[in-house]
Amino acid sequence: MKNFQFALLTLLLFSAFSCQDDFLELKPLDAISEEDVWKELNLIELYVNDRYNELPHGFPQWAGGLRMTGITDESYHMHEARFLDKYTQGGLTSGSLNMYYFNGFWLDAYKAIRNQNIFLENIDKYQPQPGEEKRIEQLTAEIRFLRAYFYTELISRYGGVPLIKETFNVNSNFNVPRASFDECTEFIVDELDAAIADLPNRSEVTGVSFGRITKGAAVGLKIRALMFHASPLFNPSNNNSRWQLVAEACEQLFGLNEYNLSQDYKGLFLNPLDTEVIFFKQFLDQFGFELVDEPSDFFFHYRGGHNINEWRFPNGSGGWISENPRQEFVDQYETLSGEIPVLGYTGNANNLQPIINPNATGYNPNNPYQNRDPRLRYSVLYDNTTFKNRQLEMWKGGMDSRDPNVDFWWNGHRLGYGIRKSLDESWSLNDGVSGKQPWIYMRLSEFYLTYAEAQYHLGNPSAAVQYVNFIRQRSGVNMPPINASGDLLKKIKHERKIELAFESNRWYDARRWRDAEVDFAKDIVGVEITKNQVTNQKTYRYFYFEGGTGKRSFPQSHYLWPIPIDEILKSNLQQNPGY
Amino acid sequence: MLVTHKYSENTTYLINKGVKSTGGHRSNGFFTPFKSVFYFVFAISMLFSTATYAQNEVISFDLKDVKLIDVFTKIESLTNYKFIYKDKTILNNSKFSFRANNESVGSIFNRLFQNRKVKFQIIGKQVVLNPIEVTAQNPIDKPTETTNKDTQKFEVKGVVKDENGLPVPGTSILEKGTNNGTVTDFDGSFSLMVQNPDAVLVFSYIGYISQEVAVKNRNAIDIIIKEDVAALQEVIVVGYGKQKKVTLTGAVSDIKSEEILQTKTANLANNLTGRVAGLVINVRGGEPGSDQVDVRIRGIGTTGNTQPLYVIDGVPNRGSFERLNPDDIESISVLKDASAAIYGAQAANGVILVTTKRGKTGKPVFNYSTNFSLAQPTRRPELMNAYQFLTWKDEVNVRNNRPTEFLEIIRQYRDGSVDKTKWGDTDWWGTVTEKWTPQMQHSLNVSGGSENTTYYLSGQYLNQDAIYLGNDYGYKQHNIRSNIDSKIGKNIKIGFDLAGRFGSNNRPTLDTEGLVRQVFVQAPFDFPYFENGLIRKTSAGNPVSLVNGDSGSRQTQTKKFDSKFSIRMDLPFIAKGLYADGYTAIDYYTTTRKDLSKPFDQYEFDEETGEYINLNFQTGTVNLFQQFSEEMNRLLHFKIGYDRSFGKHNISSFLAYEQFKQEGEFIFAQRQNLISADIPFLFAGAEENQNNGGRGFQSARLNYFGRLNYNYDDKYLVDLTMRYDGSSNFAKDNRFGFFPAVSAAWRISQENFFKSDLIHELKLRASWGLLGNDRVNNFQYLQIYNVGNSYVFGENPQRVNGLTPGTTPNPNITWETSQKVNLGLDFKLRNSILTGSVDAFYEKRSDILAPRNASIPVYAGLTLPDENIGKVDNRGIEIQLNHRKKVNDFTYTLGGQFTFAQSKIIFIDEAPNVPEWQRRTGKPVDFILIYQADGIYNNQSEIDNSAAFPDAKPGDVRIVDKNADGVIDERDQIILENSPTPRIVYGFTMGFEYKNFSLNLLFQGQAQAKTIYRPFDINQQSEFYEKRWRSETLTPNAEFPAAFDTASSSFREVSTIWIRNNDFLRLKNVDLSYNMNKKWLEPLGIDSCRFFLSAHNLLILFDSVKINDPESVSSTGWFYPQQMLLTSGLNISF
């Protein structure tokens, strides 16, 4: 009897567990298996969506991504100097410990490229239903665009890179040499040509599709790749015929008849629907701060979205005015008569004397921001300009200054200026929402300027002048036209510098022109404005921010970034010269 | 600030009340009045200590020029609260103004009584007020009634001692033929009421010969029980069974209840520190409720997961042991060598077996213990003061070619003329933390049983306050356990164990690292408060609001229910010695997390208007994040065993089957902009931007294993185990592994030729085994895709979903294997004057799971899976020695343990081109890669004549150009010989007993460990200021570089200048206790009562870390410091 009871109990014990045929054959419960993804077109589209998400942009929480202005002669990044100084002072090395910022892109780009390659290798597994072919073609073209995008960004930083067109697995042979710059360019252009055929036009991408990649974006990217290929840095033999391809690609873009120069230079950066905008990334104004766990981050940050407004607002409006445009960059904005007002500085490092351009009529050293190219007003926060319905007080002791008697003085500027371009003035710290303005990768005026540059090299100065003047003379800017006399290339470069200021182009342009060794090696000049409380008279003291000359340098090696040391140790990749 | 925590106050109050209301209860023969009262009170207090009172009610009023009593009247009129007080002195008649604006009642009380020497307790809706000077009443009113003796019975008393004259606590005494029995207490004494004067008492204790003694009308019987030489003494829990210590063949250490309870901390791991040879325990921080304890068996033997396997009452994977109630633990065994191989694929890092107490036949025995501790960091950060800080800042400015900013202010600080309303000197650590924090523990258990059924029931309550300023933060825990055994038939025994744990951890919204960092980012010249008490906004955001409760909280509640049903049947009708055994364990865990963040008030003063402006709009909205996870683990174990002796041949063997399945899931949800912080539920949040998610997980294991243990005459011993393990972590073809082990021992002392009066026991041991480690992320053999939020599309922008590939699959992934060899020697000298063991071990790990991230280039784009590639060797020795002696009334014990374990990487994935001095091969597993410093540059010519960083200046660290290429770059970094894991750990224990007093000391030490200490943010430890380089003439031999910021190469490029040695010796534990005289206790029905004072982490005898606790490994210094505890308490058994 007892034996029977025991047997029964044992049986009960066992039955507490559902007997499964294969007890150890389990499935993950937090993800989707590979097979399932490539069987369903909706899942495939989700896969493509996430590839879009891998695009870097110019508003990340910290520097990095495309937030390049702090490593150029445009501005000084007060809060990131500790990461950027290695580069701006000529000491960049290939070591990962120093490369918090510079290394990241290599990793992100190749991770994205692998994910794009996964798509291209698996998309054929899908058996399309009738009518689905076009959608698949479009998704494929989007992926090819994205892959070309990352390669263009890679070669513009590193020169020729390993061209990975297939996926590796853990047992692959990983030895891939660096392809030449020419091979990379050819690959990019071929891929884009193939994609252009299957991509929709801007006018076809509306409603919920708005934001998907268009023909225009692909042509724009092709122009960029070809432009690098034709520029002195990557075209050491100065083969001018390369500019012919650039010009043709520009004409291809213009021939789409989808884009027009904006009539609102200030507003276009907030409006992805503007006729000038070709490629962009959108954000949501998500609500609320959150306290974060990450020890690397401060007190709190925004939930989702980006935080560029708080980073760049002046301290008098609750921001940190992180990136200060440099005085000599501000000086580049012409007077209304079309002259650069200040040509340089001399004298005592703490009290520099501006060398004033005698031709710059209308320039008043005691009211230096008057009578200037309107794009100065749209792009830079300077003393007494109107911002959020008030006059900025950049002067010492003013509410936007770094004076210990001012609220949030520790967030005050160091050089006298802040970046205004693409700020959303309607944003307020008190609303507690993140910024929603888009990051604009490409807009038409860039390609007008590229076209002008190409035509200059091809010996058509009049075409070059024409396209520069389209930009200068659009309504809302209305600057006097340039002519072909004198150093036309210098004028084109100057226009590009001003027109595209703080949009990240400067770092690519100064390098591809090989101008960086001079331009980026200049010491930082700042201005301290003092206001006489009785007369309200302001005086301007210019100074070398770092105390003297020779604090900045740009060795030849810095034209390209080093391949991360870890990568060199693991592979047979050839390091860039000088690292 | 009140030192006493409000919950402890509640408990005190209720105990008083309880005694009053139940004082008249009659005893029922079984329970003395004291017992019943106590039991009742305890139950009530356990119950009430969890209750929270709604002090969240929000009211507003504004009273000017009033007395305290007016405020009471006002609050009574606005709420249902009533103020109750006896002592009218608390109503001091001075007038004041008081304003509350939508403030919670709790907060109002806090403010109202903060500086008034008034202690308030909220009981329901009553606010009970007492002056603070009044010493707390004795929590236990002595009952006036004497115990009710049954004159029909006959009382026998006595003391049980062993042959050495030492008392034997825990000896069970049973009146033969009845269920009437008792157990001896700490000093071996007992007292038992027997039915008649001719009764026979049975004395039994494990490892000793049972004795039957006839009472024969004697009232006092002292007996000496003898060690059972045949059955041989102590029994040790080993994998799936018990073995006699003397016939053990493996390297197993164990520690018993008594020794475990000498340490009184809230974390069981602390109780083992320094006491067990081979166990390397480092406490890395002291945060309540979080287990920052590194427990390693024989150091680190792998680059993979280094956690030992915890097995609680025979069931693996019940989590680790830190949160168990120490009073519940019968013993803990540590399986260090091949003896762990019976746990197969999870055993490579060693196994810790925890066995809980079970009932013994006899009358119910109650044990109550309580303790109260005050805790203080062993070391706290000492940061630069305002003067030092500003001096440092300007020195940095000068070094960076920037203009100086503070020369004038610095001068004013120096001569004392600084405007103290504008420039402060704040000790931020002192501002945001409390100097002492209380913690307390109550534990009650009862055990006993009839001949057929025994029980052990227990409950524990623990309350630990966190060091933060606010009162709400800390950890509370309830543990309950019921272990019941019953013999339900001639050959059948069943057991049912149920254990529950409820832990509630309430923390500030920012994590610990972030909070402590807040102290490092504050400028010491900022002020925390305005003169009127308002919290001031500081340049880095005032951290007071983060720790005082204003900014919200993060509450984690864990609920664990462990159950085990077991059945064992002897099968003598089939074969003598044959038995079948099975159990099923079903464990259910839930964790809920609730993060509530609130806008908080911080003010700035507008000098123009003279107004204080509240900047709370900058601190966000009321946001709620909630997370719920649950997990169910089911284990089924079935075993057939055969234990039998044939003459001198002894066999013990079994075959077993075990299966384990884990299933769980988790969900989270969040909403923003709640309508009120007092309604912390999702419905109160905005629809906009709500977010939620969830996922599931599962894993399974399937095992077949067995043991064959044979010994001849207890002299030649062999133990053979094998295990065949399957794990769902691996693909079908690589799923199963085979793990055999063999161990043998020879008891030389049993041989006829071995004749020694001195050496009573001498045993040689040897073992070999194969073990596995399967702790890696599962499903790495499959390619999976993760779903997540992705890109924003649309003219009306919307975020859409996306899919991303997970880890690149590795279809070949399988076990990590470990081969362990151990040689050991156990000995015991006459009368235990010296017992000990010495072990030497060698371990070879292979197939260690690690990603090949050192050799696979990033351009491959892979998210690397683990691969079976690593090899590590680990070797060392362990010594454990104990001495015990009694001289008249004085008994003392001395013990020592020493462990040396050195691991070395034999193979690891390394980049082919890595320089020799950066090869990890041959180095410790947890390596440090760092520049080698060679002092500080004193002048420019030293820089010009050496390789240096481009921005090097005099005062910067001189780095050794390891590869002598004239450039300092990453190739010059070296790997150090030592790591933060110590190679040597040791401990000594000393115990002294004299009459009713006993004193126990534990010293703990370690050697051969090194850690980077590089604490810096905006502010930092003043040591770096005081020892900094200033100039060639002032500080030619400076220890630390000149003033730096995060951009300085001296700081940024981590060099050996920041390395400190972790060698230390500390007085880990002191415990002084007093056993009350029996004479006084007996009338109360109490068997024993012990008071104790103890201190944990009392002294560091030597170390060189200085700025932090020498066991910390936080380079930044942003961690919750280790705590010193001063504890008092008592232990009663009745």
pLDDT value, residue B305: 86
Quick one: tokens of B51? 């209750």
Hey, is the C-beta of A9 within 8 angstroms of any chain B C-beta? Answer: yes
Per the DSSP assignment, residues forming a β-bridge with B1010 are B1061
* Per-residue pLDDT reduced to its tens digit, B779-811: 889 888 988 777 899 999 988 888 989 888 888
pLDDT band at B87; cut points 50, 70, 90: confident
Q: How far is CA B318 from CA B334, B588, B664, in A?
A: 16, 10, 14
Distance from CA of B854 to the nearest CA of A (A): 7
Q: Does the distance separating the beta carbons of B700 and A26 come in below 8 Å? A: yes
**Statement: residue A99 has pLDDT above 50:** no
pLDDT value, residue A11: 60
pLDDT value, residue B7: 34
* Per-residue pLDDT reduced to its tens digit, B464-491: 999 998 778 999 999 999 999 999 988 8
From CA A138, how far away is CA B178, in angstroms rounded? Answer: 89
* Per-residue pLDDT reduced to its tens digit, B392-405: 999 998 887 777 88
Q: Is B42 helix (H, G, I), strand (E, B) or coil?
A: helix
pLDDT value, residue B26: 38
From CA B199, how far away is CA A66, in angstroms rounded? Answer: 93
Hey, is the C-beta of B538 within 8 angstroms of any chain A C-beta? Answer: no
DSSP letter string over B100-114? EEEEEHHHHHHHHHT
Residue type for A395, please? W
Residue with tokens 């912080």: B677
A76 vs A5: which has the higher pLDDT: A76
pLDDT band at A444; cut points 50, 70, 90: very high
pLDDT value, residue A550: 83
List CB contacts (< 8 A) between A206 and chain B. 795
Average pLDDT value for chain B: 85
pLDDT band at B123; cut points 50, 70, 90: low
* Per-residue pLDDT reduced to its tens digit, B316-363: 999 888 889 999 999 999 999 999 999 999 999 999 999 999 998 888
**Statement: residue A295 has pLDDT above 70:** no
Give B 383-412 residues with CB within 8 A of chain A: 400-403
pLDDT band at A557; cut points 50, 70, 90: very high
pLDDT value, residue B952: 86
Residue with tokens 């009897």: A1
B56 vs B181: which has the higher pLDDT: B181
Highest-confidence range of B29-33, B533-537, B767-771, B952-956, by mean pLDDT? B767-771
Complex-level ipTM beyond the 0.95 threshold: no
* Per-residue pLDDT reduced to its tens digit, B106-115: 778 777 877 7
Which of B858, B868, B965 has the most A C-beta neighbours within 10 Å, making it the best mutation to test the interface with A? Answer: B858
pLDDT value, residue A213: 97
From CA B943, how far away is CA B766, in angstroms rounded? Answer: 59
Give A 363-422 residues with CB within 8 A of chain B: 407, 410
Burial class (CB in 10 A: 0-12, 13-18, 19+), A25: exposed
- Ranges of beta strands (E only) in B863-1009 are 866-887, 890-907, 929-930, 933-936, 957-959, 974-975, 984-994, 997-1007
**Statement: residue B1030 has pLDDT above 80:** yes
Q: Is B994 helix (H, G, I), strand (E, B) or coil?
A: strand
Residue type for A418, please? G
Q: Is B578 helix (H, G, I), strand (E, B) or coil?
A: strand
Which of A10, A43, A46 has the most B C-beta neighbours within 10 Å, making it the best mutation to test the interface with B? Answer: A46
How many alpha carbons fall within 13 Å on the CB side of residue A386? 1
From CA B958, how far away is CA B970, in angstroms rounded? Answer: 15
Distance from CA of A301 to the nearest CA of B (A): 10
B884-887 long-range contacts, CB within 8 A, separation 24+: B884/B164, B884/B166, B884/B832, B884/B833, B885/B833, B886/B164, B886/B165, B886/B166
pLDDT value, residue B45: 45
Signed CA dihedral, B296, B297, B299, B303: sign only: negative
pLDDT value, residue B145: 38
Backbone dihedral region of A416: left (phi > 0), alpha (psi from -120 to 50 degrees) or beta? left
* Per-residue pLDDT reduced to its tens digit, B389-447: 999 999 998 887 777 888 999 999 999 999 888 899 999 999 999 999 999 999 999 99
Using alpha carbons only, how large is chain A's radius of gyration in Å? 27
Residue environment code for A102-127, b if the CB has 16+ CB neighbours within 10 A, otherwise e: bbbbbbbbbbbbbbbbbbeeebeebe
pLDDT value, residue A457: 97
* Per-residue pLDDT reduced to its tens digit, B222-258: 888 876 654 456 788 999 999 888 888 999 998 998 8
Alpha carbon A339 to chain centroid, angstroms: 29
List CB contacts (< 8 A) between A98 and chain B. 970, 1052
Q: Does the distance separating the beta carbons of B862 and A208 come in below 8 Å? A: no
From CA A404, how far away is CA B414, in angstroms rounded? Answer: 20
B370 vs B258: which has the higher pLDDT: B370
Return the DSSP state at A335. B
pLDDT value, residue A159: 96
Write the residue in B490, B790, B854 that is nearest to A52 by C-beta: B790
Give A 273-332 residues with CB within 8 A of chain B: 273, 281-284, 286-295, 298-300, 303, 318
List CB contacts (< 8 A) between B1052 and chain A. 82, 97-98
* Per-residue pLDDT reduced to its tens digit, A324-380: 999 999 999 999 999 999 999 999 988 999 999 999 988 999 999 999 999 999 999
Alpha carbon A505 to chain centroid, angstroms: 7
Percent of chain B with pLDDT over 90: 45
Per the DSSP assignment, residues forming a β-bridge with B571 are none
pLDDT value, residue B142: 39
Name the pairing type of β-strands B890-907 and A525-531. unpaired
* Per-residue pLDDT reduced to its tens digit, A184-238: 999 999 999 999 999 999 999 999 999 999 999 999 999 999 999 999 999 999 9
Instruction: Find the distance separating the first CA and the last CA of chain B, reported in whole Å.
Output: 38
List CB contacts (< 8 A) between B689 and chain A. 286-288, 303
Signed CA dihedral, A252, A254, A259, A265: sign only: positive
**Statement: residue B182 has pLDDT above 90:** no
pLDDT value, residue A20: 52
Distance from CA of A264 to the nearest CA of B (A): 19
**Statement: residue B20 has pLDDT above 70:** no
Hey, is the C-beta of A35 within 8 angstroms of any chain B C-beta? Answer: no
Alpha-carbon torsion, ordered B2, B8, B9, B15, to 10 deg: -160
The closest alpha carbon to A435, from A263, A241, A563, A301, belongs to A301
Q: Does the distance separating the beta carbons of A566 and B969 come in below 8 Å? A: no
Return the DSSP state at A243. H
pLDDT value, residue A78: 87
Q: Does the distance separating the beta carbons of B860 and A110 come in below 8 Å? A: yes
What value, to the nearest 5°, has the Cα angle with vertex A302 and ends A298 and A306? 110
Quick one: tokens of B303? 């680059």
Hey, is the C-beta of A573 within 8 angstroms of any chain B C-beta? Answer: yes
Residue environment code for B978-1005, b if the CB has 16+ CB neighbours within 10 A, otherwise e: bbbbbbbbbbbbbbebeebebebbbbbb
Which region among A512-526, B264-278, B642-656 has the lowest average model confidence (pLDDT)?
B264-278
Mean pLDDT computed over B651-668? 94
Hey, is the C-beta of B621 within 8 angstroms of any chain A C-beta? Answer: yes
**Statement: residue B500 has pLDDT above 90:** yes
Whole-model pTM: value is: 0.76
Hey, is the C-beta of A208 within 8 angstroms of any chain B C-beta? Answer: yes
pLDDT value, residue B147: 40
Which of A3, A12, A24, A123 has the most B C-beta neighbours within 10 Å, making it the best mutation to test the interface with B? Answer: A24
pLDDT value, residue B111: 77
* Per-residue pLDDT reduced to its tens digit, A254-272: 999 999 999 999 999 999 9
**Statement: residue B1016 has pLDDT above 70:** yes
From CA B1059, how far away is CA B927, in angstroms rounded? Answer: 13
Mean pLDDT computed over B70-78? 82
Distance from CA of B859 to the nearest CA of A (A): 5
**Statement: residue A288 has pLDDT above 60:** no
Hey, is the C-beta of B922 within 8 angstroms of any chain A C-beta? Answer: no
Q: Is A117 helix (H, G, I), strand (E, B) or coil?
A: helix
Write the residue in B636, B803, B913 that is nearest to A37 by C-beta: B803
**Statement: residue B133 has pLDDT above 80:** no
The helix (H) or strand (E) run that includes residue A489 is helix A488-499
pLDDT value, residue A449: 98
pLDDT band at A9; cut points 50, 70, 90: low
**Statement: residue A301 has pLDDT above 50:** no
* Per-residue pLDDT reduced to its tens digit, A166-191: 999 888 888 899 999 999 999 999 99
Q: Does the distance separating the beta carbons of A161 and B913 come in below 8 Å? A: no
* Per-residue pLDDT reduced to its tens digit, A459-518: 999 999 999 999 999 999 999 999 999 999 999 999 999 999 999 999 999 999 999 999
B833 vs B499: which has the higher pLDDT: B499
pLDDT band at B922; cut points 50, 70, 90: confident
Nearest CA in chain B to A302: B620
Percent of chain A with pLDDT over 90: 70
Mean pLDDT computed over B1039-1062? 89
Quick one: tokens of B310? 């915890």
